[in-house]
Amino acid sequence: AQSVTQLGSHVSVSEGALVLLRCNYSSSVPPYLFWYVQYPNQGLQLLLKYTSAATLVKGINGFEAEFKKSETSFHLTKPSAHMSDAAEYFCAVSDSYGGADGLTFGKGTHLIIQP
């Protein structure tokens, strides 16, 4: 069974500072990994995904994530936080595309941007 652990239910950074959101996963097979963002009262928007190509994945809005197999991690980073980055972020894992297990989500990290 897959599982995802997001360290820190709330992360607060100053505007312009580095954003680092942590995600560790467990999977019995090489995984597909995703980061989604959810703005208040909205659906989930895909930030980026890892599908066994390059280990450093670039996404939208200046975010990127690095797949580290030895650490079973897929942390999300952004060099300089913007006020508009304030949202809920979810890491998710799947061992197959379109399979019965779908995506297994972490519990989410609420990102707070301090002015």
Partner 1 sequence: NAGVTQTPKFQVLKTGQSMTLQCAQDMNHNSMYWYRQDPGMGLRLIYYSASEGTTDKGEVPNGYNVSRLNKREFSLRLESAAPSQTSVYFCASTTGDAGGYTFGSGTRLTVV
Binding residues for partner 1, per CB under 8 A? Answer: 4, 9, 32, 34, 36, 41-46, 49, 51, 90, 92, 97-108
| Residue 46 or 112 having the CB closest to partner 1 | 46
Instruction: Give min distance, CB of 48 to partner 1, in A.
Output: 10
Tell me which residue of 45, 51, 35 sits closest to 97, measured CA to CA: 51
| Residue 45 or 80 having the CB closest to partner 1 | 45
Instruction: Give min distance, CB of 85 to partner 1, in A.
Output: 19
Tell me which residue of 80, 83, 76 sits closest to 114, measured CA to CA: 83
3-state helix, strand, coil in the chain (%, to 5): 5, 55, 40
DSSP state of 85: G
Q: How many Cα atoms are found within 13 Å in the side-chain-facing hemisphere of 15?
A: 5
| Residue 63 or 106 having the CB closest to partner 1 | 106
| Residue 43 or 115 having the CB closest to partner 1 | 43
CA separation for the pair 21, 92 (Å, rounded): 13
Instruction: Give min distance, CB of 109 to partner 1, in A.
Output: 10
